[in-house]
Amino acid sequence: MAEAERIIGTPDIPEAEGHEGAEPEKPAGDESPQAVEPDGLDTGDGEAAVDRSPATRRRRIILLFCVAVLAYLLDLGSKMLVVAKLEHQEPIEVFGDWLKLDAIRNAGAAFGFGEAFTIIFTIIAATVIVVIARLARKLYSLPWAIALGLLLGGALGNLTDRIFRAPGVFEGAVVDFIAPAHFAVFNLADSAIVCGGILIVLLSFKGLDPDGTVHKD
């Protein structure tokens, strides 16, 4: 018997299922869920979850203040140049009669409205700055950071004029110099405020809050 087994040979025995070292076969269609990054987390309704990490808020706040500083410095620099070179001089034509640079002092609000309420507009500008500072504590939206930065920079630009320019503290006249045809004269701070306000209106229509939450009707 042993001689017969030696001649015929021992048949190969297949490895038992689940043998040590063998990878178990996965049933078809049974796949482990993949890890999802926080920024792309699916909430189940087709929208990405908002990343409300402290790092994200810090980045948005930094962006807000960078936009505000840029808008403020551009406004301040342009006003200093206008006062030094253009005030009490003939207007400079940029595009014929369509656009001129004409330095004036404006005691009212943006675009020359409400000159009898200088102190009130000063208080409003200071209030806007405080409100923006409070909103920054829950700021996670990139577009809102840009919009609030434009508002903050513009408000600070005109508030600087009202504090430090004649005729007195909190009653100073704002320097305006951009004079389009058939329109009020304004400055870069006014432009930043208007652009920021328009962007906020658009974001509100889209249902986007400063904290990144999107509301859909």
Number of other residues whose CB lies within 10 A of the CB of residue 155: 25
Give yes or no: 102 in active site: no
CA–CA gap between residue 57 and residue 142 (Å, rounded): 10
> Exactly one of 75, 176, 209, 217 is catalytic; which is it?
176
- Per the structure block, which two tokens stand in for 186? 């304004």
Q: Amino acid letter at 177?
A: F
- Per the structure block, which two tokens stand in for 87? 């005030």
What DSSP letter does each residue of 10-75 carry, written as one string?
Answer: PPP-PPPTT-TTPPPPPPTT--PPPP--GGG-B-SSS-BPP---HHHHHHHHHHHHHHHHHHHHHH
> Exactly one of 42, 190, 209, 211 is catalytic; which is it?
190
Sheet holding 174-180, edge to edge: 92-95, 99-106, 174-180
CA–CA gap between residue 158 and residue 172 (Å, rounded): 9
Give yes or no: 176 in active site: yes
CA distances from 16 to 13, 127, 136, 152 (A): 9, 78, 64, 73
Residues serving a catalytic function are 176, 190
